[in-house]
Chains A and B, each alone.
Chain A
Amino acid sequence: MTEMNQDLFQIQIADDTESEHIAAPQYSYWRSVFRKFFSSKLAIFMMILSGTVILLSIIQPMFSGYSPNVTPNINRPEMKYIRPNATYWFGTDDVGNSLFDAVWKGTGTSLFVAFVATAITTVLGVVVGMWWGFSKRVDRIMIEVYNIVSNIPVTLIAMILAYALGSGVWQIIFALSVTSWVSTAYFIRVQVMIIRDREYNLASRCLGTPTWKVITHNILPYLISVIMTSISRDVPSFISYEVFLSFIGVGLGQQYASLGRMIQQYSPYMTSTPYLFWIPVAISAIISVSLYIVGQTLADASDPRTHMI
């Protein structure tokens, strides 16, 4: 046994500020969201894919200047139905235009419709849903509106509206978003009602926090993942609706390039020139799947409960 010696000890100075510090790891909400999101390889791949598609659909039409009404090659049979090759990556269509140009222009239109409709649906849905969840009076009126609207197939309403309003990008957007925001609002209402009466909100209210601040500071952050989930479902479903409406002939008119219109236009060519038909179908499937997976992963990542280390 060694002898107790003064040298074996070290003098420590008691530091009050140091002892106050809690040794928990630094937590930043958004950094955790991104760390969680980027830990999924599939999500990164899908994000790159959807990013590429979105950028192509924005940038490519600027250079090609494609418009379905401009058909310089319509009288040159040798320009029509060229199979995909090095010059025409996606081949040429029935009027001799490059399908590559047409597809990106069409994707742009379809994405624009889907994004704007989702934006309208989400903003209206969240704002009204918040109000709906808080106010009893609004609840009484809105629940009746919801009972009427929710019982009717969205497809039916969108079809009839698109038919009555006529074909055009804004008409389609209106037809798609006019009823779908109600179900988003209802979804938010239920979430708000669940969170509204939790203890921390009661405490907050007792301390005199105004309702507005309770909504924006206490409840909204909680709903980010829920809202993300709803967005990630809305975008593909709106793309799907646009494609369907144009397919049955009530969507966008002849003067617009859109994926749905192309699918409708080329479905009789399925066996003779299959690329004309399958390329738009494949693109529509790729964008909706990639956006859906990115959205779902982001929704998971933005839920603070998944941030545990």
Chain B
Amino acid sequence: MKKYILRRILKSIVSIFAVVSIIIVMIYTMVPSEKVFDNDAGAKKMKGDQLTTYKLRKLEELGYLDFASRLEMCTATFGDDAKACQDGDEAMNAQAVEAFAAKGYEIKELKSGEQYAVHNYRWYELLWRFYSKLVVVDSKNAIQDPDNPDLEHKYYWGKNPYNGTPALLCSGCTYKYQMYFNGTFPFIHQNKFKLNFGTSFPTNQGVATTQVINDGQGSNKKISQTFETGLEEESALIQTSCQYKYLTDHLDEKRFTDHYATCRSFHESPSMVETSYILGLIALVIAYVMAIPLGISMAQHKDKAIDKIGIAYINLLIAVPSLAFIFFMRSIGTLFNLPDKFPQLGFKDIRSYIMPVLILALLQTPSLMMWLRRYMIDQSNADYVKFARAKGLSQREIFRKHILRNAIIPIVNGIPGSIILCISGALITESAFAVPGMGKMLPDAIKQTNNNMVITLVFIFTALSILSVLIGDLLMTVVDPRISLTEKGGE
């Protein structure tokens, strides 16, 4: 069994990387790179050579290509003696250009006549660049600051300033708090390993994509807290998230005794991940609470009125395009004075949540009901049921104690999937209601050509769905010991 799980995990990792690799290559090679600037306000103000250079620099930053201007070509070719070349020595320039051309760069000319070199990354270079910087490990020698020679490089134990629990601190790392505990999921937090998917562009420019989806939304929330210097202040800074800051200012010195002063902030509204999670989990509970009794009573009263109505409901929900269903439900909601867009009343008002949650739950019920009914009807012809009947058990008892316990096993298989995939949010529902969650982020990122964000989300969604299938299978073996995932010998 252990061997099987290990192999399964390995395979899962391979599948995640296969999918993400294909998608990276497709996005970088098939989506025209010009589209990146369609929504960029900065590019709209520029023209001519300035625009060309801006675009090339941006594309270089986004990982499409390697760009070298005349000055950079000079520096790369002549190193320390580049001054003359940069000042316009023609022979040296020509030499620099030749050197770059020999490296496989394309040499082009700006309108002003200045030459530059461009190299579009090929698919294997794209993949290498992505994976080589994917995992960032923080170490105690990460920061080398010549202006702060006294900086110690060590790990030490300290306290979480918010709840006093022990925390692993570091001096010399990028993050001060390497590991700490608090009351929010997943309770143990660490800053040592970070996934780096690049920065978001054109929206949230310069912010890491993982931070965009993990950070709170809305305005900053100030809470009263005590800083290291003993200063008590109403502040939005999250002390456990602080990173090293090279140039500290007066305000920082008032709060912190060291250089760790670049911190994230508390926000009024939950992050995208949390939003999707709240909606998804409530919807999931409602869906199971509704679907399981309905599915059972459909199976109990097979071919009676309740069964027929149930089947009609299932067929209708499967056949109607989900978008049409969502809009229909949404307009019913407006009859009851419920908002048709989430941001109308915002996070604080419970009415914002009712319709999205209800729709998410209803969309999950048909398949649950259908399968539960199917399994229960299949089971009800089994020999052990006939035997139970022969023993004189009542129909109710047979259904509750015998059939349901067997029929629920395949349903159990799907539960982890549903829970984990709540994070990914419901793409359609969130888009229709403009809920600021992960589900809406993907279409938004696509519309804005925010490639790094698209790749981040694809990675997260793929990893989550593969993981949930694995956990589902393992859970099934726990619920039903008869099931063995490993192949038995023989034959």
Q: Are A153 and B465 in contact (CB under 8 A)?
A: yes
B27, B318, B465, B466: which contacts A160 (Cβ < 8 A)?
B27
Q: Are A236 and B11 in contact (CB under 8 A)?
A: no
Q: When the two chains form their complex, are residues B320 and A285 in contact, meaning their CB atoms are under 8 A apart?
A: yes
B19 & A281 in contact (Cβ 8 Å cutoff): no
B319 lies within 8 A of A292 (CB): yes
Q: Knowing A161-B26, A164-B26, A289-B316 touch, does A156 contact B322 (C-beta < 8 A)?
A: no
Question: A130-138, A144-152, A181-189, A216-224: which lies at the B interface?
Answer: A144-152
**Cβ of A59 < 8 Å from any Cβ of B?**
no
Q: Is B144 an interface residue (CB 8 A)?
A: no
CB distance from A205 to the nearest CB of B (A): 19
Q: Which residues B142-160 have CB closer than 8 A to chain A?
A: none
CB closest chain-A residue, reference B444: A248
Give the contacts of B310-335 with A (CB-CB under 8 A): 315-316, 318-325, 327-328, 331
The stretch of B77-85, B183-191, B373-381, B454-462 in contact with A is B454-462
- Asked if A281 contacts B446 (CB within 8 A), the reply is no
Closest residue of chain A to B461 (Cβ to Cβ) is A156
Within 8 A of B (CB), among A181-219: none
Contact B321 A240 (CB under 8 A): yes
Q: Which residue of A lies closest to B320 (CB)?
A: A285
A-side binding surface: helix, strand, loop or mixed?
helix
Q: Which residue of B lies closest to A241 (CB)?
A: B321
Assess whether B443 is in contact with A249, with CB atoms less than 8 Å apart: yes
Could you tell me the distance between the alpha carbons of A23 and B340 in the complex, rounded to whole angstroms? 67
State the total of A-B contacts with C-beta under 8 angstroms.
116
The verdict on B30 contacting chain A, using a C-beta distance below 8 Å, is yes
- Nearest chain-B residue to A260 (Cβ)? B323
Is the CB–CB distance between A281 and B327 below 8 Å?
yes
Does B212 interact with chain A (Cβ within 8 Å)? Answer: no
Cα separation A166 to B315 with both chains bound (whole Å): 33
B31 at interface by CB-CB < 8 Å: yes
Residue of B nearest to A156 (CB): B461
Q: Is A152 touching B19 in the complex (CB atoms < 8 A)?
A: yes
Q: Which of B12, B319, B431 contacts A248, CB < 8 Å?
A: B431
Pair B321/A284 contact, Cβ less than 8 Å: yes
Q: Which of A147, A151, A165, A284 contacts B324 (CB 8 A)?
A: A284
B residues in contact with A284, CB < 8 Å: 321, 323-324
Q: Which of B18, B27, B340, B462 contacts A164 (CB 8 A)?
A: B27
- Once the chains are docked, how many angstroms separate the CA of A160 from the CA of B449? 11
Residue-wise, chain A 278-291 has the 8 Å CB interface mask toward B (1 for contact) of 00011011001101
In the complex, A233 has a CB within 8 A of chain B: yes
- Do A249 and B324 contact each other (CB < 8 Å), given the known contacts A148-B18, A152-B462? no
Given contacts A151-B465, A293-B315, contact A160 B324 (CB under 8 A): no
Would A156 and B458 count as touching, CB distance under 8 A?
Answer: yes
- Residue in B19, B319, B421, B454 with the greatest tally of chain A CB atoms within 10 Å: B319
The verdict on A163 contacting chain B, using a C-beta distance below 8 Å, is yes
- The reply to whether B447 and A293 form a contact with Cβ atoms under 8 Å apart is no
Q: Are A236 and B318 in contact (CB under 8 A)?
A: yes
Given contacts A285-B320, A293-B319, whether A159 and B26 have CB atoms under 8 Å apart is: no
Segment 43-75 of A: residues with Cβ below 8 Å from B: none
Return B315 CB to nearest CB of chain A, in Å: 7
Query: Judging by beta carbons under 8 Å apart, are B319 and A153 in contact?
Result: no
A155 proximal to B (CB < 8 A) = yes
Residues of B within 8 A of A267 (CB): 327
Of B318, B323, B325, B340, the most chain A CB neighbours within 10 A belong to B323
Contact, CB under 8 Å: B446 / A159: yes
* 27 A-B interface contacts by CB (under 8 A): A147-B11, A148-B15, A151-B462, A152-B461, A153-B424, A155-B428, A156-B442, A156-B461, A163-B27, A164-B26, A164-B27, A164-B31, A165-B30, A233-B318, A236-B318, A236-B320, A239-B321, A247-B431, A248-B443, A249-B447, A263-B324, A270-B327, A281-B328, A284-B324, A285-B320, A288-B321, A292-B318
**A155-B428, A236-B318, A244-B321 known, 14 other contacts, Cβ within 8 Å:** A144-B11, A151-B466, A159-B443, A240-B322, A243-B321, A247-B431, A248-B447, A249-B443, A249-B446, A249-B447, A250-B447, A263-B324, A281-B324, A293-B319
The 10 A-B pairs with the shortest beta carbon distances in the complex, nearest first, are: A292-B319, A240-B321, A248-B443, A164-B26, A164-B30, A148-B15, A289-B319, A151-B466, A285-B324, A281-B324
